[in-house]
Amino acid sequence: MPDARVHRSACEVDVPAPAGVLYGLIADATVWPLFFSPCLHVEQLDFDGTRERLRMWALAGDRVSSWVSHRHLDVAAHRVRFRQELPSPPIESMSGTWSVHPAGEESRVRLEHAFTVTGDDPAHAAWAQQVTRANSRAQLDGLARLAQRWTHLDDLTLTFEDTVRITAPAELVLDFLYRAGDWPRELAYTRPVSVLEEIPGIQTLALDGHAATGTRAVRISFPGAGRLVHKYLHPRTPLAAYTGEWSLDPHPAGVDVSVRHNVLLSDDATGPDTARRVQDELSRTARHVLEHATRHASGAVRAL
């Protein structure tokens, strides 16, 4: 049987930022969900300073795909090579390279992919080529937007956390957070209109659009670790991007429930007042959800 045909894709962009800055954004994949629209979540599995393994979740068209990526980071050459371990079907193999090259006052970023598809099917190859190019373009465009504001990027990013101690079993609290479609009417601005779970543990939420966090979200559950991560798509101004995580830390009297917020503000939303307003709104919403989680878990305990 002949070897499967290797399909290739390459995109590049010139951006007004130093090569070292751009390489840093590419090398730290844990920040990609906040900065790159197709990327939903990244877990670093291993890292020795040069080589790493990442578990990644991303949108591939309308699908949520997940894979483990092996990466080799070359800081001197401003290059990152990657290879997917067990890619999501119909992709059978996927590898590629990020490279950054100084070009006068700008830098040129090039993203290359090489892949094969199951059975060398032309329809699968066409789909994979389309998704690969679309995601590559989205990542490079996102990188270009970041580069235009790299000198004040720290002023546009917020990370904060809220924690509440609940006197109830962690399993009951996590059950409430996970079943967002069953949240009470009092959480109307937070409760999704619908929850789709085609892959166990991965939920796509549709929201009514009243909340600033967006009209669609993807949530990924790690029940064994007591974690539930989320990314909201198409958020409204002043949010340019929003990701977060619910995490549970059991203790003898119950559980500490924390929600971590990661926010990228829009360009026209700078200033301490805007940042404080966003933080207050997101914290207030999270506390409201936790109040109902507390009632649900406490009521279930009393019933038992």
- In the numeric block, the tokens 């995490």 are attached to 247
The average pLDDT across 154-183 equals 92
Instruction: From 92, 96, 131, select the one nearest 114 (Cα to Cα).
Output: 96
pLDDT for the residue 2: 52
Question: Over the stretch 89-147, which tens digit does the pLDDT of each residue have?
Answer: 899 999 999 999 998 889 999 999 999 999 999 999 999 999 999 999 999 999 998 88
Mean pLDDT taken over the chain: 91
Say if residues 260 and 245 touch (Cβ distance below 8 Å).
yes
Say if residues 195 and 177 touch (Cβ distance below 8 Å).
no
- In the numeric block, the tokens 């090398």 are attached to 27
Report the alpha-carbon distance of residue 37 to residue 234 in Å, rounded.
9
Q: Which two three-digit tokens encode residue 140? A: 């490079």
pLDDT for the residue 86: 85
**Which sign, positive or negative, has the C-alpha torsion 267, 273, 276, 281?**
negative
Q: Is the pLDDT confidence value at 303 over 70?
A: no
Q: Which two three-digit tokens encode residue 58? A: 């991303």
Indicate the pTM of the whole model.
0.91
Instruction: From 79, 115, 108, 82, select the one nearest 6 (Cα to Cα).
Output: 115
Question: Over the stretch 203-254, which tens digit does the pLDDT of each residue have?
Answer: 999 988 677 687 899 999 999 999 999 999 988 889 999 999 999 999 888 8
- In the numeric block, the tokens 């997940």 are attached to 66
pLDDT for the residue 1: 38
Q: Which two three-digit tokens encode residue 204? A: 């796509």
Say if residues 269 and 149 touch (Cβ distance below 8 Å).
no
Query: Among 80-89, 227-236, 267-276, which is the least confidently predicted range?
Result: 267-276
**Order of strands across the sheet with 202-206?**
157-166, 254-265, 239-251, 227-233, 216-222, 202-206, 194-199
| % of the chain at pLDDT higher than 70 | 96
Query: Among 17-21, 70-74, 149-153, which is the least confidently predicted range?
Result: 149-153
CA 268 to chain centre: 23
